[in-house]
Amino acid sequence: MDLQRLLDWVLPPRCGGCRRLGGWLCPRCLRAIRRLEEPLCPRCGRQLAFRHDWCSCRRRMPHLARLRAAAAYEAPLSAAIHRFKYNGWRALARPLATLLTARLAVDGLPASQLVAVPLHNARQRQRGYNQSEELARALRARLGLPAPPGRLLRTRDTPPQVGLDRLRRRDNVAGAFAWSGPHGGGEPVLLIDDVVTTGATLEACAAALKLAGFGRISGITLARVSL
Ligand SMILES: [Zn+2]
Ligand SMILES: [Zn+2]
C-alpha cells in the first residue's frame, strides 16, 4: 500500500466539495452539482439555447464523434476536482466516477475500451498519479470492464491550456499524443478526462487513436467549463 492509500485509509473521509467530515462527496454537495441537461449539441455536448441550434464543433473536432460532460464546472464540483487533481485527494476518484456512470446511464456506453487522457511524465511524477487514469480505473471497476491493451502517451510536454484561446489551445496540443499498444482493429473507444473546455485535448487524443486504427471515438468528462 502506498502512503497516499494508507492516509486515505487512516484519515476520516471529508467531502471534496465542502470539507465536511463523513464522506468523500456529501449529500448536500451532490445535490448542488448542476448536471448538464438537454438540449445539448449531439456532437460536442455544449448546452444549447434551443434544440437544433447550430454548433461549429464538427470543424473543430473532426475525430471526436461525441463528447459529454456530467456537470457544469462550478462549485462545489470545481472544488472537489481541484482537490482531486492538485491536493492529492485521490480517494475522490470513486465518488466522482459515479457522476460519469450517471451520465452514461442517460447516454449509453459507447465503447468497452475506456482510455484516459494522459499527463506528461514529468507532471505525473510530480503529482504522483494521473487523475484521468484514476477516474478511468474507477469507472472500469464500476462497469466490470477490463483495462485497455495499451495507453495513450503524451509525446511532448505542453504548457497548461489555462489562459489560451480556442485556436492556441488547439495548436498547443495538436500532435502531442500517441497510442502505445496493439493496432486498434476498428474498436470504438471512450476517452476519459476530468474537465473539458474547448475539447482540444480530447480531439488531439482522438486523432492519435484514429491513427492507431481505432473506430468511433467518444469522450466523457466530469465537468464542462462554459466559455
Ligand atoms: Zn460537501
Ligand atoms: Zn457542438
pLDDT at 5: 67
Question: From ligand 2's centre to the CA of 42, what distance in Å?
Answer: 7
pLDDT at 160: 78
Question: From ligand 1's centre to the CA of 17, what distance in Å?
Answer: 5
Question: From ligand 2's centre to the CA of 88, what distance in Å?
Answer: 33
pLDDT at 110: 95
CA atoms 35, 200, 41, 55: torsion sign: positive
Question: From ligand 1's centre to the CA of 124, what distance in Å?
Answer: 27
Angstrom distance (rounded) from CA 18 to CA 75? 9
pTM above 0.75, yes or no: yes
Kind and range of the H or E run holding 39: none
Number of alpha carbons in the 13 Å side-chain half-sphere of residue 120:
11
Question: From ligand 2's centre to the CA of 35, what distance in Å?
Answer: 17
DSSP-derived 3-state class of residue 152: strand
Ligand nearest the Cα atom of residue 22: 1
Cis peptide before 39 (omega within 30 of 0): yes
Question: From ligand 2's centre to the CA of 49, what distance in Å?
Answer: 12
**Residue 74 region by backbone torsions, left for phi larger than 0, else alpha for psi between -120 and 50, else beta:** beta
Question: From ligand 1's centre to the CA of 70, what distance in Å?
Answer: 18
Angstrom distance (rounded) from CA 169 to CA 108? 29
Kind and range of the H or E run holding 205: helix 200-211
Other Cβ atoms within 10 Å of 37 Cβ, number: 8
**Which amino acid, residue 127?**
R
Question: From ligand 2's centre to the CA of 3, what distance in Å?
Answer: 42
Give the domain extent around 91: 3-224
Question: From ligand 1's centre to the CA of 118, what distance in Å?
Answer: 28
Nearest to 82 by CA among 220, 225, 198: 225
CATH number for the domain that contains residue 15: 3.40.50
Mean pLDDT by groups of 10 residues along the chain of 227 residues: 67 91 94 93 91 86 96 97 94 96 94 94 87 98 96 86 82 90 98 96 97 98 92
Angstrom distance (rounded) from CA 36 to CA 22? 27
Which residues sit with Cβ closer than 5 angstroms to ligand 2, an ion? 41, 43-44, 55, 57
Question: From ligand 2's centre to the CA of 220, what distance in Å?
Answer: 14
- How many structural domains are present in the chain? 1
Question: From ligand 1's centre to the CA of 106, what distance in Å?
Answer: 25
